[in-house]
């Protein structure tokens, strides 16, 4: 029996982009407002999971040809890498730096190395979440 | 500078190999690896003149200053000998392995492990700091484990690797305890500072325990009786590995430690008897057991055990000079140490050559069993000459270097009888007697190697391949070694003055170097020569009559061998710990929940009850709004309904109601970050639950007794009560300082206005980092559990 999921598919097509946008927003908002790497990663990951639930694995994989295990591994490397990186600037392990930068069009922007660390967290969360759900659902 | 480079270079190369080995399809990657030891060896030799002049090279890098750990390298005469052996024999072994291992093997693993070992071993001999030395020491055990198990599809390889690891690491941990004891005594980890403080150390009550612990490490590593049993089993490794790790270098790490620490411990009676006694027993037991072996490699393994015992006992005898202090009389006893260093080099040369010879035979003929070998002399003339020179040197015959050091060994055992301390008069006579008997057996097994392999009748039908001479590449390394064997015999004093002398200075810092150097004369006549002549006569007789007295070995019951005891100890600890683990890990999730909750209630509620910390002051709380009552009612309803549900789907949805309600509370109490996280986590877990349900059976009603029901209810209520009471208490808890004030200045401290995120990404970033790693490991764990499990009907790949 084939389940009629036209409504789900149509809704997801639109909703996924909203969720993804929200995820990206939350990730960048994290420093001064609610959000952050963990929550941003979780939202992005759940968007991917939603896609997998609605469409089959092959279709989604065509659109996003990532090996999510590697995404997670890269995230861990990024997070630990920024931590170790601080040693080379002669400051203690995990020290983060922040500075104000002036960009054309964007104006004053506050940039921080925490961002890289948080990106690592986000990628690990996305990668692990999708890996776990995919491997369980693919199991016979 | 060069010394740090010597330690680092192998590690750097080991890190590079996995990335470039794919480019080496046609060319053997060993050629690239060969550059490392060759370069290091050539650079180290340029330091010899300066070392001879008494210079030493030190360099310190702060590593963990808060724990007083620094990376200090130290190059002196003693570390020079070992580093030359490591790089010199290393070069030859790598050259040999290029021809021994085909490109079909996983060579990148092999050379990666081998370079790890080389770097670690150089680290052991160059480290001045005991903790750094310990780290490198264990790394040699680990790389040895990986190399023994290189052919990990064989059961014997895995068993041998595990045995070697268990025994050497156990000794290593004892050694660590010994180092820590030394630190408590002297307050320093630096070997040179320990040697300077030797007076304080020897008076301390913990001196003997520290010595015994350090010796345990040395004895296990150097395969001394009764810990030698791992070495024969380690012969499952590829032959280049056996030649390098298990005869020339790693097993000598224990000897290095004894030599290095003898200025600290030497001069004490316990040290003298422990090192010399264990050494001489090992010498005899190893050579006695080597004779009974049929496998050529096993024979060489026992012979290595025995030769290591010889060197060890010489260091023990030499330590007597420490007790006497510097005088003309005590110089006599330092000659034992000189002989030890001399034999250390000689053993590496002839044993390395012999191992390579056995590897050639195994490689070209397909077997190492002496019952199947014989008559190979005419077919493999070059291999034969290597075997003859190596064996004669090992048996202590002229004109080879083994003769000289064996003679010096005999002399040392006789000279020690003149010692008038350490109650030498009671057992001292045993030294020359045991040494002589052990040498007879050494002669016999050396004769077996040559006689049973190359003489006798050829049995082509019992060989795997038609015998033929080895390729030139496999012959060059052993030929270089046997050339050294002969060269040292004719020019022993070149070695003595330039290499051994400076090393003697490191072992006897208070003695003048000039007088420590022994003038070795190849042509001499003394008691030792008479002993050698006796060895030859009796050895030839025993070799001739071997079939008649071989039955002696049947007298030893298989039940009481050391191996049987080892197996029994391992089996016992496995079964007992298995029994204990199964006691509580019974696979029933209900039990695991009970453990978690009982411990939680016990510790948390226990603390609050004992410290009388529960606070109940509703007057200070703010008033509860009506919408909070509504949310609370929803939650209570969902929680109670959860208890009575029949289906899993309903249960999950009710659980979701609880979770989302909590998220609403977070919103009400203005914690947007928590609310967001709670909402998303709740959604994802619900999806995950739904996914898993297709694998689970329907919920069924359990038939459990009233008592079990009652106890479960009690635990549940206790957990709920604990959490509730703590929730009420923490609002007014005053025993600890609140930490929230610290985070208020987050923008200046961490550059962010969102306190929650600055805590996650900055204040407590270490926690976050480790959590990320844990999350990743958990994900990989689930992936491997599901994806890599054996399919139904498939057998395990093991064996």
CATH assignment at residue B606: 1.20.120
- Give domain status of residue B791, yes or no: no
Q: How many CA atoms lie within 13 A of B553 on its CB side?
A: 13
Domain containing residue A55 = 6-138
Integer Cα distance of B301 and B463 in angstroms:
23
Does residue B153 sit in the same domain as residue B256? Answer: yes
All residues of chain A having their beta carbon less than 8 Å from the beta carbon of residue B757 are 30-31, 35-36, 118
pLDDT digits (tens, 9 = 90+) for B5-16: 888 889 988 888
- Give domain status of residue B798, yes or no: no
DSSP result, B381-443: HHHHHHHHHHHHHHHT-TTSHHHHHHHHHHHHHHHGGG--STTHHHHTTHHHHHHHHHHHHHH
What SS3 state is found at A99?
strand
Given an 8 Å threshold on Cβ–Cβ distance, is A80 in contact with B773?
Answer: yes
Given an 8 Å threshold on Cβ–Cβ distance, is A76 in contact with B760?
Answer: no
- Give domain status of residue A1, yes or no: no
pLDDT digits (tens, 9 = 90+) for B331-362: 888 889 999 999 999 999 999 999 999 999 88
State the Cα angle at B569 between B565 and B575, rounded to 5°. 140
- Give domain status of residue A67, yes or no: yes
From the list B584, B613, B586, the residue with the least C-alpha distance to B599 is B584
Contacts of B165 (CB under 8 A, 6+ apart): B141, B142, B144, B145
Given an 8 Å threshold on Cβ–Cβ distance, is A128 in contact with B757?
Answer: no
Report the domain count for chain B.
Answer: 3
pLDDT category at B799 given cuts 50, 70, 90 is: very low
Of A43, A93, A131, the CB nearest to B783: A131
- Give domain status of residue B242, yes or no: yes
**B198: phi then psi, degrees, rounded to nearest 5:** -60, -30
- Give domain status of residue B637, yes or no: yes
From the list B124, B261, B125, the residue with the least C-alpha distance to B191 is B261
Does residue B209 sit in the same domain as residue B288? Answer: no
Integer Cα distance of B773 and B771 in angstroms:
5
Q: Which residue's entry shows tokens 């990148």?
A: B108
- Give domain status of residue B768, yes or no: no
Does residue B225 sit in the same domain as residue B271? Answer: no
pLDDT digits (tens, 9 = 90+) for B83-130: 999 999 999 999 999 888 887 888 888 899 999 999 999 999 999 999
Integer Cα distance of B198 and B188 in angstroms:
12
From the list B388, B404, B283, the residue with the least C-alpha distance to B335 is B404
Task: Determine the distance in angstroms separating the CA of B669 from the nearest CA of chain A, rounded to an integer.
Answer: 14
Give the domain-ending residue among B487, B516, B544: B544
- Chain A, chain B: beta-carbon pairs less than 8 Å apart: 142
- Give domain status of residue B284, yes or no: yes
Query: What ipTM goes with this model?
Result: 0.89
Given an 8 Å threshold on Cβ–Cβ distance, is B778 in contact with A118?
Answer: no
- Give domain status of residue B741, yes or no: no
From the list A31, A25, A111, the residue with the least C-alpha distance to B754 is A31
Of A83, A131, A133, the CB nearest to B691: A133
**What is the helix, strand, coil percentage profile of chain A, to 5?**
70, 10, 25
Q: Which residue's entry shows tokens 């052990």?
A: B438
- pTM here is 0.80
Which chain B residue is nearest to residue A112, measuring alpha carbons?
Answer: B751
Given an 8 Å threshold on Cβ–Cβ distance, is A128 in contact with B672?
Answer: no
Which chain A residue is nearest to residue B784, measuring alpha carbons?
Answer: A135
From the list B84, B132, B94, the residue with the least C-alpha distance to B115 is B94
Given an 8 Å threshold on Cβ–Cβ distance, is B772 in contact with A110?
Answer: no
Residue of B680, B696, B747, B781 to mutate, testing the A interface (most A Cβ within 10 Å of its Cβ): B680
Integer Cα distance of B323 and B275 in angstroms:
14
Does residue B183 sit in the same domain as residue B270? Answer: no
Which chain A residue is nearest to residue B672, measuring alpha carbons?
Answer: A34
Of B673, B680, B780, the CB nearest to A34: B673
Whether the Cβ atoms of residue B678 and residue B662 lie closer than 8 Å to each other: yes
Give the domain-ending residue among B683, B710, B736: B736
Of B676, B677, B776, the CB nearest to A72: B776
> Which element (helix H / strand E) includes B505?
helix B501-507
Does residue B425 sit in the same domain as residue B494? Answer: yes
Report the domain count for chain A.
Answer: 1
With b meaning 16 or more CB within 10 Å and e meaning fewer, what string describes B188-219? bbbbbebbebbeebeeeeebeebbbbbbbbbb
Does residue B236 sit in the same domain as residue B271? Answer: no
pLDDT value of position A109: 64
Secondary structure E strands in B117-196: none
Given an 8 Å threshold on Cβ–Cβ distance, is A117 in contact with B754?
Answer: no
Integer Cα distance of B340 and B343 in angstroms:
5
pLDDT value of position A106: 60
> Which element (helix H / strand E) includes B604?
none
Given an 8 Å threshold on Cβ–Cβ distance, is B750 in contact with A98?
Answer: yes
Integer Cα distance of B303 and B285 in angstroms:
10
B640 prior amide bond cis, ω within 30 = no
Does residue B162 sit in the same domain as residue B117? Answer: yes
From the list A70, A35, A74, A120, the residue with the least C-alpha distance to B771 is A120
Domain containing residue B280 = 266-544
Of A79, A114, A132, the CB nearest to B772: A79
Given an 8 Å threshold on Cβ–Cβ distance, is B757 in contact with A35?
Answer: yes
From the list B661, B426, B443, the residue with the least C-alpha distance to B533 is B443
**What six digits make up the tokens of A56?**
């089959």
Does residue B672 sit in the same domain as residue B532? Answer: no
Partners of B190 in the β-ladder = B129
Mean pLDDT of chain B: 87
- Give domain status of residue A34, yes or no: yes
B662 prior amide bond cis, ω within 30 = no
Does residue B93 sit in the same domain as residue B190? Answer: yes
Task: Determine the distance in angstroms separating the CA of A107 from the nearest CA of chain B, rounded to an integer.
Answer: 18
pLDDT digits (tens, 9 = 90+) for B561-593: 888 888 899 999 999 999 999 988 888 888 899
Q: Which of B20-29, B343-352, B413-422, B634-643 has the lowest mean pLDDT?
A: B20-29
Whether the Cβ atoms of residue B626 and residue B668 lie closer than 8 Å to each other: no
- For chain A, give the percent of residues with pLDDT over 90: 18
Give the domain-ending residue among B519, B544, B569: B544
């Amino acid at each position: 029996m084939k389940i009629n999921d036209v409504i789900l598919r149509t809704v997801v097509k639109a909703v996924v982009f909203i969720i993804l946008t929200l995820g990206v927003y939350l990730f960048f908002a994290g420093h001064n407002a609610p959000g952050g790497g963990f929550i941003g990663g979780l939202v992005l990951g759940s968007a991917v999971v939603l896609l997998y639930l609605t469409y089959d694995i092959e279709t989604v994989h065509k659109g996003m040809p990532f090996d999510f295990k590697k995404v997670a591994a890269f995230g861990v490397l990024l997070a630990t890498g920024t931590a170790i990186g601080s040693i080379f600037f002669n400051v203690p392990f995990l020290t983060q730096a922040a500075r104000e930068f002036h960009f054309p069009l964007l104006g004053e922007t506050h940039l921080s190395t925490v961002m890289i660390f948080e990106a690592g967290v986000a990628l690990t969360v996305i990668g692990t979440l999708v890996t776990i759900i995919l491997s369980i659902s693919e199991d016979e | 500078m060069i010394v740090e480079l010597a330690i680092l270079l192998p590690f750097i190369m080991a890190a590079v190999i996995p990335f470039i080995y794919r480019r080496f399809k046609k060319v053997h990657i060993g050629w690239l690896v060969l550059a490392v030891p060759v370069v290091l060896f050539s650079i180290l030799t340029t330091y010899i003149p300066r070392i001879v002049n008494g210079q030493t090279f030190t360099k310190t890098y702060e590593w963990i200053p808060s724990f007083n750990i620094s990376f200090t390298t130290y190059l002196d005469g003693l570390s020079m000998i070992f580093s030359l052996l490591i790089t010199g024999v290393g070069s030859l072994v790598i050259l040999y392995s290029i021809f021994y291992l085909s490109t079909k093997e996983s060579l990148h693993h092999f050379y990666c492990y081998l370079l790890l070992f080389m770097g670690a071993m150089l680290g052991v001999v160059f480290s001045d700091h005991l903790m750094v030395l310990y780290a490198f020491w264990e790394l040699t055990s680990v790389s040895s484990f990986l190399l023994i198990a290189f052919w990990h599809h064989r059961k014997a390889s895995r068993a041998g690797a595990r045995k070697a690891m268990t025994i050497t690491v156990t000794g290593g941990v004892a050694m660590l305890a010994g180092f820590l004891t030394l630190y408590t005594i002297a307050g320093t980890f630096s070997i040179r500072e320990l040697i300077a403080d030797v007076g304080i150390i020897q008076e301390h009550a913990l001196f003997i325990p520290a010595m015994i612990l350090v010796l345990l490490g040395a004895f296990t590593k150097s395969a001394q009786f009764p810990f030698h049993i791992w070495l024969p089993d380690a012969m499952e490794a590829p032959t280049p590995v056996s030649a390098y790790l298990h005869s020339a270098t790693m097993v000598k790490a224990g000897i290095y430690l004894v030599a290095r620490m003898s200025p600290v411990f030497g001069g004490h009676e316990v040290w003298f008897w422990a090192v010399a006694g264990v050494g001489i027993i090992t010498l005899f037991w190893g050579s006695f057991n080597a004779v009974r072996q049929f496998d050529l490699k096993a024979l060489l393994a026992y012979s290595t055990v025995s030769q290591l015992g010889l060197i060890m006992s010489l260091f023990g005898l030499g330590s007597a000079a420490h007790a006497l202090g510097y005088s003309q009389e005590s110089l006599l006893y330092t000659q034992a140490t000189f002989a030890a260093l001399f034999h250390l080099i000689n053993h590496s040369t002839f044993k390395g050559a012999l191992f390579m010879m056995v590897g050639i035979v195994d490689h070209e003929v397909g077997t190492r069993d002496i019952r199947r070998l014989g008559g190979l002399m005419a077919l493999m003339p070059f291999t034969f000459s290597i075997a003859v020179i190596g064996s004669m040197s090992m048996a202590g015959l002229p004109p080879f270097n083994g003769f000289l050091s064996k003679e010096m060994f005999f002399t040392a055992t006789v000279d020690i009888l003149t010692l008038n301390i350490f109650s030498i008069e009671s057992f001292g006579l045993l030294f020359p007697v045991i040494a002589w008997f052990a040498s007879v057996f050494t002669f016999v097994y050396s004769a077996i190697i040559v006689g049973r392999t190359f003489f006798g009748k050829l049995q082509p039908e019992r060989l795997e391949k038609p015998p033929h001479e080895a390729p030139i590449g496999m012959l060059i390394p052993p030929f270089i070694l046997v050339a050294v064997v002969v060269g040292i015999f004719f020019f022993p004093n070149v070695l003595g003055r330039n290499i051994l002398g400076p090393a003697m200075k490191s072992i006897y810092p208070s003695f003048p170097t000039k007088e420590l150097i022994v003038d070795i004369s190849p042509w001499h006549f003394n008691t030792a020569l008479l002993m050698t002549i006796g060895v030859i006569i009796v050895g030839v007789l025993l070799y001739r009559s071997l079939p008649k007295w071989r039955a002696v070995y049947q007298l030893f019951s298989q039940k009481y061998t050391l191996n049987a005891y080892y197996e029994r100890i391992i089996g016992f600890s496995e079964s007992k710990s298995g029994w204990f683990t199964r006691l509580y890990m019974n696979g029933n999730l209900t039990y695991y929940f009970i453990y978690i909750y009982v411990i939680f209630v016990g510790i948390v509620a226990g603390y609050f009850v004992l410290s009388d910390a529960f606070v109940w002051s509703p007057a200070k709380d703010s008033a509860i709004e009506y919408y909070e009552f509504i949310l609370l009612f929803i939650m209570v309803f969902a929680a109670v309904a959860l208890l009575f549900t029949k289906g899993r789907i309903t249960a999950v949805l009710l659980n979701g109601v609880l979770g989302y309600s909590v998220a609403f509370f977070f919103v009400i109490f203005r914690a947007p970050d928590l609310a967001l996280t709670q909402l998303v986590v709740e959604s994802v877990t619900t999806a995950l639950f739904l996914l898993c349900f297709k694998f689970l059976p329907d919920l069924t009603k359990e038939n459990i007794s009233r008592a079990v029901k009652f106890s479960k209810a009690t635990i549940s209520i206790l957990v709920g009560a604990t959490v509730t009471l703590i929730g009420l208490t923490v609002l007014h808890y005053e025993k600890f300082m609140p930490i929230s004030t610290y985070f208020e200045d987050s923008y200046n401290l961490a550059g962010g206005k969102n306190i929650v995120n600055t805590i996650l990404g900055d204040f407590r970033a270490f926690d976050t980092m480790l959590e990320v790693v844990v999350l990743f490991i958990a994900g990989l764990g689930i992936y491997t559990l599901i994806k890599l499990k054996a399919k139904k009907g498939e057998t395990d790949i093991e064996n």
